[in-house]
Amino acid sequence: MSWVSWLVSVLSLAGIALAAIKWLRVAQREHYLAGSIVFMRRVWIAARPVNILEAVMLAGALVGHALAPDSLWPLLGCVGMVIFPVGLGHRGRTSPLNWTARLRRTAIVGAFVLGLATALLGRMSTLVLGGGWPGALSMAAVVSWYAIPDLVLWVAAPIERRLSQKFVVRATGTLRRVAPVVVGITGSYGKTSTKWYVRDLVAGTRRVVASPASFNNRLGLARAINETLTDDAEVFVAEMGAYQPGEIADTCSWIPPGIAVLTAIGPVHLQRFKSEERIIEAKSEIFERAGVAIINVDHPALADLAGSLGDRKVWRCGTSGKATDVRVRQDGDLLTIVVHDRALGDPIPAGPFPANLACAVAVALELGVPPGAVSDRARRLAPTEHRQATGRSQAGFEIIDDTFNSNPAGAARALEVLMSAVEPPGRRAVVTPGMVELGPQQHDANRRFAAAAAEVVDHLVIVGRANRRALLHGARGGSAEVTLVDQREEAVAWVREHLGAGDAVLYENDLPDHYP
């Protein structure tokens, strides 16, 4: 066996370790979902076609190894896995790798599966092609790597579920002991805003605890209960997210909501659910154990759902005429809350999302908050952080922060907020990387948003490459000046350099740096 084979083996292992760090970070950002690595590879190839060279280099390595088993050919595939995708960093700027216990376990499982696959493929390579076993193992390791990441996430998922069960058991016991009224809130979007509205409308009448931040999955909610649910809590407001069918049903099996809220349905996470019908089915799991259902019926499918919930008490809420129980009507800069065809107090200043506010008002009234208190507290609702929150820069231009939004309805409303924020000759700018996780609708949704923006704003700053093609396509027919930047920091610098007093900027969505 030559020294070349040994050198290639060492270098191959080093390359795999470097590549593993990169993709472990992606797995962590994508909630360790099996299939997320393949999906993100496709995203990077679509955004930067040069990344297809990784597959070309792997194919070249395989052919070269078949012709000369004890050679440097495995390094060609190894180099490809280290340098591609171009632009995906190992350390991360906005989302650095965090070596949690789960990530360490995932890495250990990955090393084990990779070793097993390498041994099997290496043995086959030795028998078929001959040559020394170090060279065969090197090539086998490189080939195995490309199939390993998502397989590891699939293998690790039941292990992680079993290990985390103790936290769920503890949270279940705490819920039973404290026995609060559980308000479960789900939806494609609007969950977080509605959660904070409910908390603020109910607080002062009943002691209420809401799940913090976006702790909306199994472990996040268990942590929220274990760390924040106090013994005197009378109401627990739980935001419930879902990446696949059955997830909300599982959550509700140990956090059964007495009041269940469905805020909206849209194409968010469509690449996982495949259709809006499946999204509705998954989200409606929240009603299975609930005695009271509160639904935003502005969407026709949700209006139909409201009529199919049997003998549950149903509140039909929203902004349309279908909202027969609670309707929030916007008239210019004012919102009027209408409950059963009667105005609830005087109009309040616009600011809260109307449909989300309607659902929150229904929850508050269901929990016994006096109508007068609901009206008074609605007037003082604080903006939800990073969701169309407004502010002013030191240079005097208006800032609309909608960086936590990634859905077409919210983006369209944010554009309306921008239009009302400043009058000509003040300039308007939109900074956006576009919207993601919209499945087959993603290109068209971003194209339509860019087209709408380019007609009414002066500047459109496109960040990154994930949706660059769609955004450029949409902006083509408008009058906005288009600027391309690779990172959000460059966009912020552009805004500070070009905008001043009397201008306004909308930051529409933000993507972590594992997106191109």
Residue 440 is given by DSSP the state G
- Give the torsion sign (CA, 175, 178, 184, 185): negative
Q: Residue 391, SS3? A: strand
For the 389-508 domain, the top CATH level (class) is alpha beta
Per-residue confidence (pLDDT) for residue 2, from 0 to 100: 67
Residue 171, burial from CB neighbour count under 10 angstroms (0-12, 13-18, 19+): buried
Per-residue confidence (pLDDT) for residue 404, from 0 to 100: 86
Per-residue confidence (pLDDT) for residue 295, from 0 to 100: 98
The pTM of this model reads 0.89
The C-alpha torsion from 14 through 16 and 18 to 20, rounded to 10°, is: -150
Cα separation of the two ends of the chain: 42
d(CA 362, CA 365): 5
The CATH fold of domain 180-378: UDP-N-acetylmuramoyl-L-alanine:D-glutamate ligase (3.40.1190)
Per-residue confidence (pLDDT) for residue 468, from 0 to 100: 97
d(CA 278, CA 51): 33
Both structure tokens of 132: 């020394």
All CATH 3.40.1190.10 domain ranges of the chain, comma separated, are 180-378
Neighbours of 277 (CB within 10 A): 11
Taking alpha carbons only, the member of 125, 123, 115, 124 closest to residue 148 is 115
d(CA 33, CA 10): 30
Per-residue confidence (pLDDT) for residue 68, from 0 to 100: 84
Overall residue count recorded for the chain in this entry: 516
All CATH 3.90.190.20 domain ranges of the chain, comma separated, are 389-508
d(CA 84, CA 480): 34
pLDDT in tens, the chain (516 residues): 567 777 888 888 899 999 999 999 999 999 899 999 999 999 999 999 999 999 999 999 889 888 888 788 888 999 999 999 999 988 888 888 899 999 999 999 999 999 998 888 888 877 777 767 777 888 888 888 888 899 999 999 999 999 999 999 999 999 999 999 999 999 998 999 999 999 999 999 999 999 998 788 999 999 999 999 999 999 999 999 988 889 999 999 999 999 999 999 988 776 777 788 889 999 999 999 999 999 999 999 999 999 999 889 999 999 999 999 999 999 988 999 999 999 999 999 988 999 999 999 999 999 999 999 999 999 999 878 778 888 999 999 999 999 987 889 889 999 999 998 888 899 999 999 999 988 889 999 999 999 999 999 999 999 999 999 999 999 998 999 999 999 999 999 999 999 999 999 999 999 999 999
Neighbours of 217 (CB within 10 A): 17
**C-alpha to C-alpha distances, 51 to 36, 82, 122, 511, nearest whole angstrom:** 17, 12, 27, 20
The C-alpha torsion from 77 through 78 and 79 to 81, rounded to 10°, is: 90
DSSP per position, 358-387: HHHHHHHHHTT--HHHHHHHHTTPPPPTTS
